[in-house]
Structure 1
């Protein structure tokens, strides 16, 4: 989902301010919601004159709407110009909204399609310290497949998801997301030093996708792409399966489908709301780049 721009908005059209056929109360409610949306979309505080310029509504109408919203504590008046910002009651609504969402349900449909089309396991992951947390997983209907489950964790240094997520970390903080050297070598292809990992992360950032080529487990390959919203990498999305099924053309097809799915996830308001909450809950980890 693309986040709302923090800047000026064009004047609302009559349709956005409420249908002409609506009765007075419905029209007033619609206009009140438009004001809340406006206040959420521009840098606070916003003056009465600014609201008039954005919406085209008469100032007398705005004063009545703001009085009701202020009384209900959805809006707070901050000075005598007068100027306003959102109130704490909006946060209660936002918290209730996010709490009602199920990431498996919100993102699962996209991962189901990805897994069915690629016939590989699809996985959505977030970075937590030196590990990747698998937050949504879907597997193909076939006996030979990569198995993991939501909530499972894996090392970031030897996974496609991990490398992609590490590419979003401030380079100065990269070592804080990696174990002490030498890193555990799961196979003879696992990268085990900070110097080599730094080079690999730079390659990952340049090409725009992460690769685990028999590094976490022999015979297993994974490719991953970022899920980016407003320039911020919130998560990474991957497909994993038997290494023999990741030839050049197949991998190119997987990446195309991964990017399409990542864009769809980033455009879904529900998915992004949950991912943001999860991302922020892991904010005690070292700095991550936008």
Structure 2
């Protein structure tokens, strides 16, 4: 168990539940640690953006970063619940596994999965992580994230990103695992920001060009429907 991390988390709890900003001595007393440790923890929290010094007081208070992280978790949970029936319909319409995925650095995390009923299917579980640059979900998310276009794995995909943005969806044809392909479309929030990817994945042998063309409208519609459920106006 990482005791340093535990102390940092405990400091966050103490600051979050305090009715006023705290100084080094007060934090040390409440946590039962020496002042030098309390000072080091506070400086780390400030450097990480979780706390800020209150001018000319020697005290510290939390920033909104912790609230922002908690809000992101709440949004993700709400989005999963709202997306579930839409993904179920997408799965039924295509016969392939339907998913909702989020961008997490250079990877995508699958937060909702509706498995195909077919005997031969893609086995993806909630919580699975995969490289963003070689999955359909990752490509659509990276394409909409200009800050990611200079990442080493994404530089070679810039021309593909332009195509993805133009057509409104991304296709993966065995880029990560040759036997697995997928299609993904963006999910927007009310500010016009892409916050997730909705799509389908399945055996590459079933993702023939004609079939992909047939499935694309259903995938794009699923992304749009989830966006509307998140409050985006048509």
Could you tell me whether the CA contact under 8 Å between 2:80 and 2:100 is conserved in 1? no
Supply the distance in 2 between the matched residues of 1:103 and 1:228 (Cα, whole angstroms).
11
Q: Which residue of 2 aligns with 1:117?
A: 93
- Deviation track 1:113-156 (CA, whole Å, cap 9, x = no partner) reads 11111011111111111000111111111110111111111100
TM-score, structure 1 as length reference? 0.50
- Structure 2's unaligned 5+ residue stretches are 1-66
Q: Which residue of 2 aligns with 1:135?
A: 111
Deviating above 3 A after TM superposition, structure 1's stretches of 4 or more consecutive aligned residues are 101-105
TM-score, structure 2 as length reference? 0.61
Q: Which has more helix, going by share of residues? A: 2
Does the residue aligned with 2:199 lie in a helix, a strand or coil? strand
TM-superposed deviation, 1:249:
2.9
Does the residue aligned with 1:154 lie in a helix, a strand or coil? strand
Could you tell me whether the CA contact under 8 Å between 2:189 and 2:230 is conserved in 1? no
- Provide closer, same or farther for how the CA distance between residues 269 and 212 of structure 1 changes in structure 2, counting only shifts above 3 A: closer
**1:141-220 paired onto structure 2 within 5 Å:** 141-170=117-146, 172-176=147-151, 178-179=152-153, 194=155, 196-220=156-180
Q: Which residue of 2 aligns with 1:226?
A: 186
Supply the distance in 2 between the matched residues of 1:213 and 1:169 (Cα, whole angstroms).
22
Could you tell me whether the CA contact under 8 Å between 2:140 and 2:185 is conserved in 1? yes
Confirm or deny that 1:259 pairs with 2:220: yes
Supply the distance in 2 between the matched residues of 1:102 and 1:221 (Cα, whole angstroms).
28
TM-superposed deviation, 1:108:
1.4
Supply the distance in 1 between the matched residues of 2:126 and 2:208 (Cα, whole angstroms).
28
Q: Which residue of 1 aligns with 2:229?
A: 268
Confirm or deny that 1:245 pairs with 2:221: no
Between the two proteins, the alignment pairs up a number of residues equal to 161
- Provide closer, same or farther for how the CA distance between residues 161 and 269 of structure 1 changes in structure 2, counting only shifts above 3 A: closer
Larger gyration radius, structure 1 or structure 2 = 1
The CA RMSD over aligned residues, in Å, is: 2.6
